[in-house]
């Protein structure tokens, strides 16, 4: 069966989008071909900085016949609707249409037509121009003389040639079509600098790949990436060094070269006083180079780096390595300047005293100065949620509330929270935002902060995703919790919640972070009081924010009757109470919705951890706000229901729940409370006494959080419930007796639900 080879050759495509673009090309072409009735065996995409290539194997030579249906109006539709249908279908008489029947809609007209098969070459030539003209680039450009014409081709970079071949084992055929002033051909081009860059005629994919490699182009990006990593490791090892692995950088560099040549450069050792994170980011970001380290030195880098050239130089790459070394030195010199500047006093210290007093900062310390400046400059966090300084105030207050709940020094927690965002005003973080937190940690250690406080400054951003590590130090966890809770409550209050398709503020990630942090330690923390505390802190800010705007409107309203300052002051006071009342009323609904959002995230997290869905639903209630307890209950429940007592109790619980559900739907009267004076049989008395005993026993056990013991206590109800079902006719003729017996079952269910809702368990 024939194969299709397509190559789109252009100016350099940005490395970060090459893989996706090649995938888009494959998906678009194969879908169009299949929709047109062609079948293929395999398809694979390739990409280099200058080309997108698609290799489709085992393509059918002709499409099969396709029957198309056009549904029309009801046979009872108005004449105008039927005439419109005939016109669209290009028929002159409705008798040429068939009548079909729908059970719901009745009889309607339908036209069935058969599209005869077409040659694959015709289909390919028909679908490719539309795909190329409408290719989904994130950004595109026009060029050349034809760019001013309507409908001119737009591409990520100027497109130079299109190779399109339909080939068998014995022959190949050019699929002829035209895009602007480019006509498809059987010609490609090699490396721009290392080949003659003359047209290379090809016949099929096998000789295409071979001829490209002879012209110094390695087509397979994954192979280029492997060459880069292997040669980089070997070159490092030869110099007595280890490569600092970086898969993402290798992927990016593989998209920058067609013929990778790995070289080593160096810079002066004096630059190694800079933290390794800064050196690595400087070299990685600006020069797309890898760093190395000496063996057995995990945290320290060497002064040698690995670069990847796109040419084989006559001097073995010495000049290329030297040129990169000069640029790297200049970049690292800048980084050294940033590093040293961040440890020096700020020039505007005299303006920072008010902020320093507000946060109890020591202006003799560089990081404290940066925090004071962050507050002084009123750096915005979010238009509706105020400044970073205001946010730090809230985070510190909330963290101080959490600390005593888990017996952690509140003073240290507050210190960590106050300094957590200070490095946002450092030169290094301004240059490399990826280092926020990391640099705060380093600068805190340099100015003498405790190890735990310094670590918390770095860790409070964690976890930043489902695979990111969770902090283990208590101070880090507390500040991270306060930070994420403030973020979530704030955006919920201003109605900036995630939708099914958008989550611009990464609130799902923040909620998952809160869950993972809450489970990181054996802490018995209830979330709702913390959410309420965060709401109170935010309400104060939102009220002041709204009042400032309101007062400004009053002062600027020349027609207002409020001419005296006292009148304006009274109006502002009234408006303040109004705002507070509105926000407090709104807060309850907001927090319940936010707790529901946490529950959804928790379900997903636990399911991914392998927890049965029915066990989660059995334990989780709309009011549950202690994630640690939820996990403990689920673990205890799963163990319990796999025992003989558990299985039997589960059967009793389900039977009781089913009876109550049925009688509720039938609107049968169920007594509000059990009346022992209405018992007629000893089985009723035995069950009632067992319930009373279990209730007294379970309440303190649950208060201590011993869910295994609570389930064991519930098991004492199994025999009395079994006897009750066996000996007692619940639906007694006497309405009063029946209502009392149903109330007894309701009491059993209510007691069990305190531990878990057994009716939601499978089995």
pLDDT of 593 higher than 90: yes
**Using H for helix, E for strand and C for coil, what is the string for 498-517?**
CCCCCCCCCHHHHHHHHHHH
Calculate mean pLDDT across residues 284-312. 93
For each of the domains in the chain, give its residue range(s) and CATH number, in order of start. Answer: 3-62+119-214 (3.30.70), 67-115 (no CATH), 221-341 (no CATH), 383-420+460-594 (no CATH), 631-760 (1.10.730)
Give me 693's structure tokens: 């005993």
For 648, the token pair is 């039997």
Question: Average pLDDT in the 734-738 region?
Answer: 90
pLDDT value, residue 9:
97
Q: How confident is the model at residue 541 (pLDDT cuts 50, 70, 90)?
A: confident
For residue 416, which phi and psi values (nearest 5 degrees)? -65, -40
Q: Is the pLDDT of residue 230 over 80?
A: yes
- pLDDT at position 563, please? 52
What six digits make up the tokens of 678? 């209405």
Distance separating alpha carbons of residues 10 and 279, to the nearest angstrom: 35
Mean pLDDT check: name the lowest of 471-475, 527-531, 669-673. 669-673
Q: Give the per-residue pLDDT at 361.
A: 96
Q: Is the pLDDT of residue 105 over 80?
A: no
- Averaged pLDDT, 623-638: 92
- Going by pLDDT thresholds of 50, 70 and 90, the confidence category of residue 196 is confident
pLDDT at 677: 87
Q: What share of the chain is helix, strand, coil (3-state, %, to 5)?
A: 55, 10, 30
| Cβ neighbour number for residue 15 with a 10 Å cutoff | 18
User: What value does the mean pLDDT take over residues 203-225?
Assistant: 96
- Alpha carbons 664 and 338: distance in angstroms, whole number: 72
Please compute the mean of the pLDDT values over residues 223-246 and round it to a whole number.
96
Q: What is the mean pLDDT of residues 311-326?
A: 94
Compare 97 and 217 and report the one with higher pLDDT. Answer: 217
- Does 364 or 649 have the greater pLDDT score? 364
For CA atoms 285, 286, 288, 292, the dihedral sign is negative
For the segment 508-536, the average pLDDT, to the nearest whole number, is 94
**pLDDT exceeds cutoff 70 at 576:** yes
Residue 509 banded pLDDT, cuts 50, 70, 90 = very high
> Is 546 a residue whose pLDDT tops 60?
yes
d(CA 283, CA 267): 11
In terms of pLDDT, which residue wins out, 156 or 666?
Answer: 156
The predicted structure's pLDDT at residue 566: 62
Question: Is the confidence at residue 488, as pLDDT, over 90?
Answer: yes
Distance, CA of 124 to CA of 122 (rounded, Å)? 6
Question: Cα(115)–Cα(214) distance, rounded to whole angstroms?
Answer: 45
Residue 763 pLDDT > 90, yes or no?
A: no
Q: What gap in Å lies between CA 50 and CA 40, rounded to an integer?
A: 27
Least confident of 40-49, 60-69, 239-248, 471-480: 60-69
- Is the pLDDT at 289 greater than 60? The verdict is yes
How much is the average pLDDT of 424-437? 95
> Is the pLDDT confidence value at 1 over 90?
no
Query: Which of the two residues, 567 and 348, has the higher pLDDT score?
Result: 348
Looking at residue 555, its pLDDT comes to: 67
**DSSP single-letter state for residue 62:** B
Handedness of CA 712, 716, 722, 725 (dihedral sign): negative
Place of tokens 């069950």: 687
Rounded distance between C-alpha atoms, residue 720 and residue 726, angstroms: 10
Contacts of 302 (CB under 8 A, 6+ apart): 241, 291, 292, 293, 294
- Give the lowest-confidence range in 55-69, 408-422, 549-563, 661-675: 549-563
pLDDT at residue number 66: 67
Quote the percentage of the chain above a pLDDT of 70.
97
Match 């064991």 to its residue by tokens.
Answer: 712
Instruction: Kindly tell me if the per-residue pLDDT of 565 is higher than 70.
Output: no
What is the CB neighbour count within 10 angstroms for residue 340?
12
Q: Cβ distance 189 to 200 under 8 Å?
A: yes
The pTM of the full predicted model, rounded to 2 decimals, is 0.80
Mean of pLDDT values over 81-103: 82
At 558, the pLDDT band (50, 70, 90 cuts) reads: low
Q: What's residue 668's pLDDT?
A: 86
Q: What is the pLDDT of residue 463?
A: 95
Residue 368, pLDDT score: 97
Least confident of 32-46, 101-115, 137-151, 278-292: 101-115
d(CA 439, CA 429): 7
Average pLDDT of span 585-591: 87
């Amino acid at each position: 069966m024939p194969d299709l080879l397509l190559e789109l050759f252009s100016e350099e495509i940005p490395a970060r989008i090459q893989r996706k673009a090649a995938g888009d090309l494959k998906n678009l072409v194969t879908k169009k071909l299949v929709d047109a009735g062609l079948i293929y065996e395999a398809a694979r995409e390739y990409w280099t900085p200058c080309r997108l290539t698609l290799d489709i194997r085992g393509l059918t030579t002709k499409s099969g016949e396709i029957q198309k249906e056009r549904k029309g109006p009801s046979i009872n539709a108005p004449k105008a609707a039927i005439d419109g249908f005939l016109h669209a279908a290009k028929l002159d008489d409705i008798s040429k249409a068939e009548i079909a029947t729908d059970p719901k809609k009745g009889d309607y007209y339908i036209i069935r037509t058969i599209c005869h098969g077409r040659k694959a070459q015709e289909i390919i030539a028909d679908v490719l121009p539309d795909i190329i003209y409408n290719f989904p680039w994130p950004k595109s450009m026009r060029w050349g003389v034809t760019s001013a014409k309507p409908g001119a081709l737009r591409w990520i970079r100027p497109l130079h040639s299109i190779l399109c071949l339909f080939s068998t084992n014995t022959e190949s055929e050019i699929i002829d079509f035209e895009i602007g002033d480019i006509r498809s051909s059987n010609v490609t081009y090699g490396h721009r600098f290392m080949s003659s860059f003359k047209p290379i005629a090809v016949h099929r994919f096998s000789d295409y790949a071979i001829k490209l490699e002879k012209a110094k182009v390695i087509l397979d990006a994954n192979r280029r990436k492997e060459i880069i990593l292997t040669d980089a490791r070997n070159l490092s090892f030869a110099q007595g060094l280890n490569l600092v692995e970086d898969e993402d950088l290798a992927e990016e560099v593989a998209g920058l070269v067609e013929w990778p040549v790995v070289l080593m450069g160096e810079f002066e050792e004096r630059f190694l006083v800079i933290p390794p994170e800064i050196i690595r980011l400087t070299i990685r970001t600006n020069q797309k180079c890898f760093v190395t380290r000496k063996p057995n030195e995990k945290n320290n880098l060497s002064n040698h780096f690995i670069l990847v050239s796109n040419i084989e130089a006559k001097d073995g790459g010495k000049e290329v390595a030297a040129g990169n070394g000069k640029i790297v030195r200049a970049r690292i010199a800048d980084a050294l300047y940033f590093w040293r500047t961040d440890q020096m006093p700020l020039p505007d210290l005299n303006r920072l005293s008010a902020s320093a007093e507000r946060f109890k900062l020591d202006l003799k310390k560089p990081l404290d100065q940066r925090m004071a400046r962050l507050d002084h400059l009123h750096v915005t966090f979010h238009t509706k949620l105020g400044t970073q300084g205001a946010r730090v105030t809230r985070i510190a207050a909330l963290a101080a509330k959490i600390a005593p709940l888990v017996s952690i020094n509140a003073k240290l927690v507050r210190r960590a929270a106050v300094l957590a965002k200070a490095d946002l005003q450092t030169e290094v973080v301004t240059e490399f935002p990826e280092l926020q937190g990391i640099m705060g940690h380093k600068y805190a250690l340099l100015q003498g902060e405790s190890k735990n406080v310094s670590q918390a400054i770095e860790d409070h951003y964690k976890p930043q995703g489902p695979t990111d590590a969770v902090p283990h130090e208590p101070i880090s966890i507390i500040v991270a919790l306060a930070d994420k809770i403030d973020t979530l409550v704030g955006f919920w209050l201003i109605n900036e919640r995630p939708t099914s398709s958008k989550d611009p503020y990464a609130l799902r990630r923040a909620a998952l972070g809160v869950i993972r942090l809450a489970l990181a330690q054996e802490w018995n923390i209830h979330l709702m009081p913390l959410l309420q505390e965060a709401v109170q802190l935010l309400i104060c800010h939102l009220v002041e924010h709204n009042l400032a705007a309101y007062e400004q409107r009053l002062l600027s309203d020349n027609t207002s009757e409020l001419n005296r300052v006292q009148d304006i002051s009274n109006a502002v006071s009234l408006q303040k109470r109004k705002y507070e009342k509105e926000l407090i009323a709104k807060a309850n609904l907001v927090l319940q919705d936010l707790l529901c959002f946490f529950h959804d995230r928790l379900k997903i997290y636990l399911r991914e951890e392998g927890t049965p869905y029915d066990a989660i639903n059995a334990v989780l209630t709309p009011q549950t706000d202690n994630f640690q307890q939820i996990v403990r209950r689920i673990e205890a429940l799963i163990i319990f229901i796999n025992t003989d007592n558990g299985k039997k109790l589960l059967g009793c619980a389900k039977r009781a729940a089913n009876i109550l559900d049925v009688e509720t739907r039938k609107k049968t009267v169920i007594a509000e409370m059990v009346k022992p004076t209405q018992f007629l049989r000893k089985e009723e008395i035995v069950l009632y006494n067992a319930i009373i005993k279990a209730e007294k026993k379970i309440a303190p056990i649950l208060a201590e959080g011993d869910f295994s013991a609570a389930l064991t206590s519930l098991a004492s109800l199994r025999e009395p419930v079994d006897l009750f079902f066996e000996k007692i006719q619940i639906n007694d003729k006497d309405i009063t007796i029946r209502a009392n017996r149903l109330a007894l079952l309701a009491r059993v269910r209510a007691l069990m639900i305190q531990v878990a809702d057994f009716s939601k368990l499978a089995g």
